[in-house]
Amino acid sequence: MEVRTVSLLPTELPSAISVRDLYCVYSYYYTPKFVFNGEQHAPWEIVFVQSGRVVVETPEYTHTLRRGMCILHKPWIPHKIRADNVPCYVNIISFTAEEDTLILPVADRPFALDEVSQNYLFGIVNDGTTIVAGKNHVPEMKKFQVRKFAAHQAVKNLLELLLIRLIRCNNDEIDPKNSESSKMNSAVLSVINFLADHLCEKISLERIAKKVGYSVSRISAIFKEYTGESIINYFIRMRIQKAQELIVANTMFLREISDYLGFDTIQYFCSQFKKMTGMTPLQYKKFVQNSDTYCDTNFNKV
C-alpha cells in the first residue's frame, strides 16, 4: 500500500500582545484601616480583589473595587490603594509587555472579571508566586508550594490570555454569559462560589461534589492542584476571613461569631483562627484597632 505524501500550508502564529517580564505577584491581607500612600513604576500593575473592598486612586480618578473586580494601572502613573473599612484579600501583579498601546484602552477602568478571566488570574497567582518568590518583597514559597513544570511559560501565556480577554470584552467581542471556559478551572471557581454562598452552613464534600458534577476524589484533587489547599481548609480560611470582618465590625460577641459561622465550639473557632492568622481573636481585635497594617498570606506583617 502506497503512502500518499501531502503538502500542507502552514499558518503563522504572530503575537498581538507579548508579556516580556514579570516583576511581582503579591497576595496580601489588608486590615480595614490600611492605607498605602502611593507609588509609581515602569511595569503595568493589575489589582484584583478576592475579598473585601478597596479604593484605588490616581491623579485622574478614584474607583472602588469589590470582590471579583480588577483594575490595570498604566506605567509611571502614581497610584494609591486603601481598604474601604473592611478586611481585604488582594492580588497584585506587575509586568511589562510589548505593544503597550494595545493595552491602553483597558487601563484605568474597573472590570468585573468573568469566570474565564478569574481562572486565568488564579493560574497566574498560583504559578507566579513560585517563580518570583523571595524577590521584590514577594514572600518566600510556602511549604506546600511547588514550582510546576514550565511555570514561567504558563504565567506568560495566562497573562497574555487575560489581557486579550480584557481587550475583547472592552471591544464587546465577548458575552461573558455565553463564554466557555476550561472545565476543570470552572469547577474550581464553582466550588469557591458555592462555599461563599453557604459560608454559615455545615456542608459536606459529597454535597459540593454533587453540585459541580464530579466525584469527591476528583474535585478534591482538582481543587488542591489549582489552589494549593484542600476544599475544607479553603472553606475554613473563608470563614476566618468573614470572622475578621465581624470582629472589626464589633457587633457580635466571639461566641456569636463562632455559632454564626458554623463552628462546633468556641474553642475550635479560636484554634482555627489562630492557626490561620497567628493570633487569637482577641489579639486580632487589638491588632486592627487604629491599625493601618497589611500582611502577606502567612500573616507576617510587612
* pLDDT tens digit at each of 302 positions of the chain: 788 999 999 999 999 999 999 999 988 888 888 999 999 999 999 999 988 899 999 999 999 998 889 999 999 999 999 999 888 889 999 999 998 899 999 999 999 888 789 889 989 998 998 999 988 888 788 776 788 899 999 999 999 999 999 999 888 755 544 443 445 567 888 898 899 899 999 899 999 999 989 999 999 998 888 777 899 999 998 899 889 888 877 889 999 999 999 999 999 999 999 888 878 998 888 777 656 666 655 555 55
Helix axis angle for 183-197 and 216-227, nearest 10°, is: 90
Of 43, 44, 42, 33, the residue nearest 81 (C-alpha) = 33
Residue 177 main-chain phi, psi, to 5 deg: -70, -25
pTM recorded for the entire structure: 0.71
Q: What is the pLDDT of residue 17?
A: 93
**14 contact partners, CB below 8 Å, separation of at least 6:** none
Helix axis angle for 183-197 and 115-131, nearest 10°, is: 100
Alpha helix stretches (DSSP H) within 97-230: 100-103, 115-131, 151-170, 183-197, 205-212, 216-227
**172 contact partners, CB below 8 Å, separation of at least 6:** none
Q: Hey, is 238 helix, strand or coil?
A: helix
| Residue 45 CA neighbour count, 13 Å, CB half | 21
Q: CA-CA distance, 97 to 43, in Å (whole number)?
A: 8
- With beta carbons less than 8 A apart as the criterion, state whether 16 and 91 touch: no
All three cell numbers of 292 = 493601618
Q: What is the pLDDT of residue 62?
A: 95
Q: What is the pLDDT of residue 136?
A: 86
Q: CA-CA distance, 65 to 48, in Å (whole number)?
A: 8
Q: CA-CA distance, 100 to 124, in Å (whole number)?
A: 20
Q: What is the pLDDT of residue 175?
A: 53
| Residue 208 CA neighbour count, 13 Å, CB half | 29
Place of cell 472602588: 64
Q: CA-CA distance, 225 to 191, in Å (whole number)?
A: 13
Q: What is the pLDDT of residue 291?
A: 62
